[in-house]
Structure 1
Amino acid sequence: MKKWIQKSLMIGVALLTLGFIPPSHEMWDTLLDDDKGQREISGSAVHAETLETPVVEAEPAFTDVAKLAAKDQAYEKFGKRIGPVISGEFESVILPKIEEAIDMTLVSLGPDMVRDLAITEQPAGGYSEKIFHIYDKGTGKDLIRFHVRTDKRPLDGYFFNFHYHTAEDGFSRHIALGDIYWSKNTPPKWLS
C-alpha cells in the first residue's frame, strides 16, 4: 500500500477517535502485506521506514489537563504579590499532593465518567478559598474541590492552608495537603 494512504489512514483513525483508541499495529502489518509481494524488505529497512513515519500525538488525557490546570489556576489565584514568594515551596510540596489527589480521584471513576469532567476556569479572589473545582459537565455537580485558606496562628504568623474536599462525604471533611508560611504580616488578597 502506498505510504501516503497509510499515513492518511493513521491520521484519520487518530482524529476520528480523538486519540483515545490507538490503532492496532496488526492492522498496519496486514496492510503492508500487500507490499511484501512486490518487494522484499529487510529488517533494517523496516526500522528505517518506521523512523521516517510521523508520530500522531494523541489528545492529552484529562488527568494531564487537570494537573496543568491545577498549576495555572493556583498561580492565577496567588497573583503577582503572593506567587513569587511561595512558588518554590508550592511546587515542591503542595503541587505533587494536588496531582496525587487528582490521580486517586480519577482512578476511582470509569473512563466514561472521566470524559464528562471539566475544571472551573476562575479561582476566587479576595479572601475566598476556591482555587479550582473538578465537576461533571452533565450534572454541574462538583466532584472534588481544591481550596487554600489563610490561617493566623498566634505568635507564629500567617500560613496558607491547602486542602481539598470530595463529594464522597458531602464536602464536609478537610483533607490537608499542607501549609506554607507567609509571615507575621497580613498577606494581600488573592488575585492581587
Structure 2
Amino acid sequence: MKKWLQKGLMISVALLTFGIIAPNHAIWNQSDQDDGKVRSHEPSANDLTATIQLDQIYIEEETDVLDLETVGQTFKSAAKEQAYIKFGTRIAPVIGDEFETRIFPKIEEAIDFTLARLDDDTMRSLTITEKPSGNYSEKIFHIKNTASKEDVIRFHVRTENRLDAGYYYNFHYHTFEDAFVTHYDLGEIYWSKNTPPKWLS
C-alpha cells in the first residue's frame, strides 16, 4: 500500500474513533509488497483483535452511547496542552510543577462537573478553543458548543500585582449558567516581585 494511503487510513480511524483506538501497525506489515504483488497470509490473532474492536465501535455508534469518562479525558488532555502553550517557554519552567499539583486537578474537576450536567447532544457538539491569548490577557481556553456557537465554560488566568508582595497568577473559570459573571477560584501561584513575561513568550 502506498504511504499516503496508509497515513490517510490511520488519520481516518483516529478521527472516527476520537483517538480511543490506536491503529494496529501489524496491518501494514501484513500487506508487504513484492514487485507490486501483495503476499497472501493466514488470519492472525491481530486480525481477530482488530475485527472485535471495529465491531465494538459499530455497536456503540448504533446505540448512540457516549462514554463520559473518555470524553472528559479528551478535554482534560487538550486543556493541559493549551495551558502550557499559554505559559510558553519562559513561564512554564517556573510554575509548571505547582500548576500540575495544585491548579490542574481543580481544572479537571471543573471539566468533569460541567460535562456531567450536559446532555449527550450537547456533549457531541463540544470543542475546545486552540488559541490562548498572549500579552497579559486572561484566556487560557474555552469549551464551546459548536451547534449554538456559545461558550459553556471559560478558563482564565489573571496576572495580579499586589503592593509590596509581588506578582501572582490567579487561575479561575466562568460558566454559562450565570452568564460568565462569577469567578470560580482555582487557586493562585506566586511569580516574584519582578514583572512576569508576557504569555506565549
Same fold per superposition (TM over 0.5)? yes
Structure 2 counterpart of 1:98: 107
Which residue among 137, 154, 163 is the counterpart of 1:154?
163
Structure 2 counterpart of 1:84: 93
Q: CA RMSD in A?
A: 2.6
- 2-structure distance, mates of 1:69, 1:136: 16
Structure 2 counterpart of 1:188: 197
Q: Percent identity?
A: 53
Alpha-carbon distance, 1:93 to partner: 0.2
Report SS of the residue matched to 2:191: strand
Say yes or no: does 1:10 pair with 2:52: yes
**Change beyond 3 A, Cα 1:17–1:149:** farther
Which residue among 103, 109, 127 is the counterpart of 1:118?
127
Structure 2 counterpart of 1:75: 84
Instruction: Work out whether residues 163 and 174 of structure 1, in 8 Å CA contact, stay in contact via their aligned partners in 2.
Output: yes
C-alpha offsets along residues 61-103 of structure 1, whole Å, 9 cap, x if unaligned? 2200111011110000000000000001000000000000001
Which residue among 125, 130, 143 is the counterpart of 2:152?
143
- 1-structure distance, mates of 2:168, 2:62: 42
**Change beyond 3 A, Cα 1:130–1:18:** farther
Q: Which runs of 5 or more structure 1 residues have no equivalent in the other structure?
A: 23-57
- 1-structure distance, mates of 2:62, 2:108: 21
C-alpha offsets along residues 91-133 of structure 1, whole Å, 9 cap, x if unaligned? 0000000000001100011222211111001111111100000
- 2-structure distance, mates of 1:86, 1:12: 42
Report SS of the residue matched to 2:137: coil
Query: Which of these two proteins has the greater Rg computed from alpha carbons?
Result: 1
Alpha-carbon distance, 1:12 to partner: 3.3
- 1-structure distance, mates of 2:61, 2:86: 32
Alpha-carbon distance, 1:3 to partner: 9.1
**Change beyond 3 A, Cα 1:7–1:184:** closer
Structure 2 counterpart of 1:127: 136
Report SS of the residue matched to 2:95: helix
- 2-structure distance, mates of 1:20, 1:126: 46
- 1-structure distance, mates of 2:118, 2:161: 37
Alpha-carbon distance, 1:19 to partner: 7.0
- 1-structure distance, mates of 2:50, 2:81: 36
Matched to 2:128, the amino acid is I
Say yes or no: does 1:166 pair with 2:175: yes
Alpha-carbon distance, 1:21 to partner: 6.1
TM-score (norm 2): 0.70
- 1-structure distance, mates of 2:62, 2:71: 11
The size of the alignment, in residue pairs, is 155
- 2-structure distance, mates of 1:81, 1:126: 13
